[in-house]
């Protein structure tokens, strides 16, 4: 099992979970709170905070101890695009008409106000880094954001780094353990971009959405995450 504390966005983002909303107080205009929204693809409750004895997820577990842990939360549909469209719009799949991986939710609901769009409409700077929506059209969804997103469309970038797998991508082996830094894979790229964005945010309050793709197949992460985890991990702060 890939250790679930996959990404450390330096000391600014210390862990990821199924879907987390972090509210950080800031001395900004009208004292509005910033929002850091993190979503992780295919991450089920196989986490220490949910009682999984094999999962090594110290940052998520520590966050759960200081936050609200939901034990009866269910996705609307066991498919990526419908579930994401439902969550981001607050509408069930029967209303979004999204049941596959290709349909844009704005086909049926052109005027729907998404979660980030709501914040943007109320004076927030809304930015997307990583996978938030799914299909290529919805992945960028201009009404949702204040600026174009980064790494929103799923490609072969960062899925594999070994030449033997790149030849057969996108559907090659189910796992890869290359001895490379985090930045060689897509989630490392997303984490680095999120850190940079946080360090250069404007004076406006922000809604920053960060989407990680692992543990979705392929299980391709740096070798370090396949090895015995270190136990001396600092607490989430």
Active site residues: 80, 134
Report the residue count for the chain: 237
Dihedral sign for Cα 166, 169, 172, 173, please.
positive
Task: Give the C-alpha separation, 188 to 7, whole Å.
Answer: 7
Q: Kindly list the distances between the CA atom of residue 206 and the CA atoms of 113, 117, 136, 139, in Å, as whole numbers in the listed order.
A: 17, 12, 24, 19
Residue with tokens 């980064």: 150
Residue 141 C-beta-side C-alpha neighbours within 13 Å: 33
**Beta-carbon neighbour count of residue 43 at 10 Å?**
20
Rg of the chain on CA atoms, in Å: 18
């Amino acid at each position: 099992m890939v250790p679930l504390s996959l990404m450390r966005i330096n000391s600014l983002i210390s862990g990821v979970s199924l879907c987390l909303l972090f509210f950080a107080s800031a001395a900004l205009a009208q004292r509005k709170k910033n929002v850091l929204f993190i979503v992780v693809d295919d991450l089920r409750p196989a986490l220490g905070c949910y009682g999984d004895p094999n999962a090594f997820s110290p940052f998520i577990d520590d966050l759960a101890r200081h936050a609200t842990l939901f034990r009866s939360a269910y996705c609307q549909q066991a498919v990526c695009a419908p579930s994401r469209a439902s969550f981001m719009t607050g509408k069930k799949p029967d209303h979004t008409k999204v049941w596959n991986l290709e349909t844009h939710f704005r086909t049926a609901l052109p005027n729907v106000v998404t979660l980030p769009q709501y914040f943007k409409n109320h004076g927030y700077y809304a930015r997307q880094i990583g996978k938030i929506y799914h299909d290529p059209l919805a992945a960028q969804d201009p009404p949702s954001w204040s600026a174009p997103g980064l790494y929103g469309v799923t490609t072969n970038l960062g899925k594999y780094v070994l030449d033997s797998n790149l030849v057969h991508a996108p559907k090659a082996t189910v796992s890869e353990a290359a001895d490379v830094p985090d930045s060689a894979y897509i989630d490392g790229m997303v984490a680095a971009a999120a850190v940079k964005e946080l360090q250069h945010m404007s004076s406006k309050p922000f809604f920053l959405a960060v989407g990680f793709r692992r543990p979705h197949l392929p299980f391709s992460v740096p070798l370090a995450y396949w090895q015995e985890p270190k136990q001396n991990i600092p607490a989430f702060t």
